[in-house]
Amino acid sequence: MRLVILGPPGVGKGTQAVRIVERLGLCHLSTGEALRDAIRSDGANAKDLKACLDAGQLVPDELVATIIVDRLDEPDCRRGYILDGFPRTMSQAEMLEGLTRSLGNGLSAALFIDAPDDVLIERIGGRGTCPECGRSYHHVFAPPASVGKCDVDGAALEHRADDEPEAVRERLRVYAERTAPLLGFYRSRDILVEIDGTADVDAIERQIADRLEAHAR
């Protein structure tokens, strides 16, 4: 199965992506990971990518899409993958569609988890993020095994400045402007799977499993 996971900030995309990976044995790929791996690999795109990052510039959509699709063509992703954090814009979605189709590994489904803004603002206020791997936790909905520490690398969790209420409202505004149009794009391809993100983490996981099973029929 080949998936993207979409939804507003704070809806629990990262938490659910990890659970989907564990249940289905998929390759979990985030934009940040893909870019870091590309730099470490010193491959064909590493020089251009490093130049952009060193100059503090946004990485062009074309370069990001190429790096991600190259990663998706590696053996561990050929049996299935879930993309977390990409695409975020219509241009990225169109590029991803063209590149994955050319490789014969186009998307099976686009998962969209949604919840009202007031729920998201409350959730994000209780979130802690690992500064090393980027994994997010929540002290109620998805707590780490050890209080204040990342399960993956043991780093101390941080509360990000952009998780404050006013910053969250601005992030939600930008999301609605840039990312929400992707819903129509994937709905027109008949691969959009919509999930109610107001439930607890386990209920959302069950809902995703049921909806994906129904979608695959």
Query: Quick one: what percent of the chain has pLDDT higher than 90?
Result: 46
Strand partners, 23: none
Please report, as a single letter, which amino acid is at residue 214: A
Pick the catalytic residue: 23, 47, 160, 173?
160
Active site residue 160: yes
Both structure tokens of 80: 């299935």
Rounded Cα distance between 40 and 172, Å, is 32
Which class would CATH give 2-115+180-216?
alpha beta
Considering only residues 157 and 124, tell me which one the structure prediction assigns the higher pLDDT: 157
Rounded Cα distance between 156 and 91, Å, is 36
Task: Encode 165-199: b = buried (16+ Cβ within 10 Å), e = exposed.
Answer: eeebeebbeebeeebeebeebbeeeebbbbbebee
Rounded average pLDDT over 157-165: 85
Active site residue 173: no
Rounded average pLDDT over 117-123: 91
- Report the pLDDT value the prediction gives residue 162, as an integer from 0 to 100: 79
Q: Of 83, 110, 113, 90, whose CA–CA distance to 181 is shortest?
A: 90
Task: Check whether 61 has a pLDDT greater than 90.
Answer: no
Active site residue 171: yes
186-201 per-position pLDDT tens digit: 999 999 999 999 999 9
Q: Give the single-character DSSP code of 13.
A: H
Pick the catalytic residue: 36, 50, 78, 88?
88
Helix (H) or strand (E) holding 114: strand 109-114
Residue ranges of the domains in the chain?
2-115+180-216
pTM of the model: 0.80
Active site residue 71: no
Pick the catalytic residue: 2, 71, 127, 135?
127
